[in-house]
């Protein structure tokens, strides 16, 4: 039986690649794709989710959730790595949705429709899930699992020296999710950064004649140019795709149960994920953090997933 998932994301090139793989993987039943503000604005994230799904035209359309702006959002984004529109500045035709539902409503509806059976794959800031918990306080009790992309066990950062972007963007929501009773798996920055994809990835993307290839060949090369020009690197990290791989191939990741929290204030420490590793007490947390990964095997899984998406489209 296919695993029921909702993908909460802020596309983003890596989110677009993750959606290409997830929407055509027979092991997954993607119930919904919900947009969240982060890499791009709320309106742009909502448009990008719809654009990617429209371009791929999957055999089973997921429900789409619209992002809401975050109050007091930091004046940062990741457009320098993803393009002004989040999708490498490529322009795709997209239909206009007349009846948009907020992402947290989609989360609540779909989890309640299949209690204890839905996995949430959170690829961006955790704003939507925190809002869903406020909307339905007992929702955390009936989610099967939450797999989170972001944070760092090693106190490593990409937006500040010590904070990862998804946690930095909305730390109060991240704290609310970390402290919730739902089962959580964290795929932190130091794990996703171990899976580095070289330039030959472009030659292994689906053919331009396929829907997946038409999308990916217009957005992925931008990531290589941005990483080279801005970071001085010849390879790229697709953080969201590695997190998707953790859902599909958990055997490739080593997890350790930890007590974790998120710092919400501090001039230097906003968004830092803090883990108590002293071993003074048995872990009270329902969070398992990845501490190791078989990077070569995950890379192979990504390539096979892209090939499958090409065949399906």
Catalytic residues: 239
Q: How many C-beta atoms surround the C-beta of residue 294 within 10 A?
A: 17
Q: CA 60 → CA 55, 86, 147, 149, 238, distances in Å?
A: 13, 25, 22, 25, 25
Question: Which has the closest alpha carbon to 240: 65, 30, 39?
Answer: 39
Angstrom distance (rounded) from CA 238 to CA 240: 6
Strand partners, 64: 33
Q: How many CA atoms lie within 13 A of 195 on its CB side?
A: 30
Identify the helix (H) or strand (E) that includes residue 81: helix 79-82
Q: CA 34 → CA 51, 75, 195, 233, 303, distances in Å?
A: 13, 22, 25, 31, 25
Angle at 195 between CA 221 and CA 305, to 5 degrees: 70
Q: CA 258 → CA 44, 156, 278, distances in Å?
A: 35, 17, 10
Q: How many CA atoms lie within 13 A of 16 on its CB side?
A: 33
DSSP 8-class letter at 75 = S
Angstrom distance (rounded) from CA 119 to CA 122: 9
Cis-peptide, bond into residue 101, ω within 30° of zero: no
Q: Is there a contact between 39 and 126 (Cβ–Cβ < 8 Å)? A: no
Angstrom distance (rounded) from CA 145 to CA 116: 8
């Amino acid at each position: 039986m296919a695993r029921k998932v909702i993908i909460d994301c802020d596309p983003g090139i890596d989110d677009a690649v993750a959606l290409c793989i997830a929407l055509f993987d027979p092991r997954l039943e993607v119930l919904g794709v919900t947009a969240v503000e982060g890499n791009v604005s709320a309106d742009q994230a909502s448009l990008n989710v719809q654009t990617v799904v429209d371009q791929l035209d999957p055999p089973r359309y997921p429900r789409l959730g619209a992002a809401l702006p975050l109050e007091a959002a930091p004046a940062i984004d990741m457009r320098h790595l993803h393009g002004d529109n989040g999708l490498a500045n490529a322009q795709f035709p997209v239909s206009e949705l007349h009846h948009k539902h907020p992402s947290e409503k989609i989360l609540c509806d779909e989890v309640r429709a299949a209690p204890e059976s839905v996995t949430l794959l959170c690829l961006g800031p955790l704003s939507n899930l925190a809002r869903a918990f406020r909307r339905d306080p007992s929702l955390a009790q009936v989610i099967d699992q939450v797999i989170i992309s972001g944070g760092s066990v090693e106190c490593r950062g990409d937006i500040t020296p010590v904070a990862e972007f998804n946690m930095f963007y909305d730390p109060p929501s991240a704290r609310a999710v970390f402290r919730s009773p739902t089962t959580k798996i964290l795929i932190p920055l130091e794990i996703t950064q171990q899976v580095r994809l070289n330039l030959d990835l472009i030659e292994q993307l689906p053919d331009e004649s396929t829907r997946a290839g038409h999308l990916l060949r217009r957005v992925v090369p931008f990531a290589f140019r941005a990483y080279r020009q801005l970071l001085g690197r010849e390879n790229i990290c697709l953080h969201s795709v590695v997190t998707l791989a953790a859902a599909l191939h958990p055997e490739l990741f080593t997890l350790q149960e930890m007590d974790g929290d998120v710092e919400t204030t501090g001039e230097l420490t906003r968004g830092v994920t803090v883990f108590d590793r002293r071993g003074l007490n048995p872990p009270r947390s329902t969070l398992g953090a990845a501490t190791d990964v078989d990077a070569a095997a995950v890379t192979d899984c990504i390539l096979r997933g892209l090939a499958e998406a090409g065949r399906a489209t």
